[in-house]
Each structure stands twice: as structure tokens, then as C-alpha cells.
């Protein structure tokens, strides 16, 4: 895996069965999935290492990610199959404004749903293939 927003993270792995639009699909106040059409409706992503194939839907998801990190309900880290600019920017803005870091990785975490993992890639992995 490579880090596109570097930093360490630890938490329980939650693999999304379908892509999730954070805007309209994730409530930053509660940290819960609120998209009723999503198979994991009602699940909390707060403090989790969230594995998702790619982002979906609204370009407002940057704001929702930053707001959830401000409120402390956001995911511990995101692991994406492909880089997603919208999520990267949301994470970087939370770091700029609130010094809260939600690292974003690209690749296969090789971890099973529900297990606890630690991700420790540092700055040096940024930009590696």
C-alpha cells in the first residue's frame, strides 16, 4: 500500500460492501452510515479503518470528511482501491485547520473485516508506486 495522505493509524477494519458517498450517506454528527440504500446502513465508521473500492457521488464529501474529523467522529483511516482527490482534500483540510490526521492509503490492506490493524507508513511512502 502507498500513503496518499501519510500518517499512522490503528483501528478495526470495516470493508464497505458498496462505495459510499460521505455526503448524504454519512452523518458527521453520529459517525453512522445514513444512506438507506447502502447495505451497511446504520454502521458506525467512527475510529475505523475504512476500506472502500472508490468514492461515490457528491463532490461535497470533502467537507463531510473534514467536518467528521473536526467533530472526532471520522474514520481512523481510509484505504482505497484507487486514489480519490475529493477524500484526500477533505483529509488535508482537517489537518490544516484542526491538526487532525486521517491517513489515506491506496492498495489492498490484506486484512480481514473486523480485525484490528495498525498502519504505520510515514512520509517517506508518499508518491511511491
- Interface residues toward other proteins, by CB under 8 A: 4-5, 19, 21, 23-25, 28, 34-37, 53-64, 66-67, 69-71, 82-90, 92-94, 96-98, 104, 126-127
Three-state SS annotation for 58-79: CCCHHHHHHHHHHHCCCCCEEE
In the complex, minimum distance from the CB of residue 86 to other proteins, in angstroms, rounded to a whole number: 3
Q: What is the β-pairing status of strands 2-5 and 104-106? A: antiparallel
Nearer to other proteins, 53 or 121 (CB): 53
In the complex, minimum distance from the CB of residue 31 to other proteins, in angstroms, rounded to a whole number: 13
- The reply to whether 58 belongs to the active site is yes
Helices (H), the chain: 22-25, 61-71, 85-98
The distance from CA 8 to its chain's CA centroid, rounded to whole angstroms, is 13
Annotated active-site residue in 58, 60, 63, 125: 58
In the complex, minimum distance from the CB of residue 128 to other proteins, in angstroms, rounded to a whole number: 11
128: helix, coil or strand?
coil
In a 10 Å sphere around its CB, with 0-12 CB exposed, 13-18 middle and 19+ buried, how is residue 52 labelled?
A: buried
Nearer to other proteins, 7 or 25 (CB): 25
Nearer to other proteins, 23 or 48 (CB): 23
Residues marked active site are found at: 58
Amino acid at each position: 500500500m502507498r500513503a496518499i495522505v501519510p500518517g499512522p493509524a490503528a483501528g478495526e477494519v470495516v470493508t464497505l460492501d458498496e462505495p459510499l458517498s460521505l455526503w448524504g450517506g454519512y452523518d458527521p454528527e453520529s459517525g453512522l452510515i445514513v444512506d438507506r440504500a447502502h447495505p451497511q446502513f446504520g454502521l458506525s465508521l467512527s475510529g475505523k479503518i475504512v476500506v472502500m473500492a472508490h468514492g461515490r457521488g457528491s463532490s461535497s464529501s470533502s467537507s463531510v470528511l473534514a467536518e467528521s474529523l473536526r467533530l472526532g467522529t471520522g474514520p481512523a483511516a481510509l484505504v482505497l482501491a484507487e486514489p480519490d482527490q475529493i477524500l484526500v482534500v477533505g483529509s488535508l483540510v482537517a489537518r490544516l485547520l484542526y491538526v487532525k490526521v486521517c491517513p489515506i492509503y491506496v492498495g489492498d490492506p490484506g486484512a480481514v473485516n473486523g480485525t484490528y490493524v495498525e498502519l504505520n507508513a510515514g512520509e517517506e511512502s508518499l508518491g511511491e508506486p
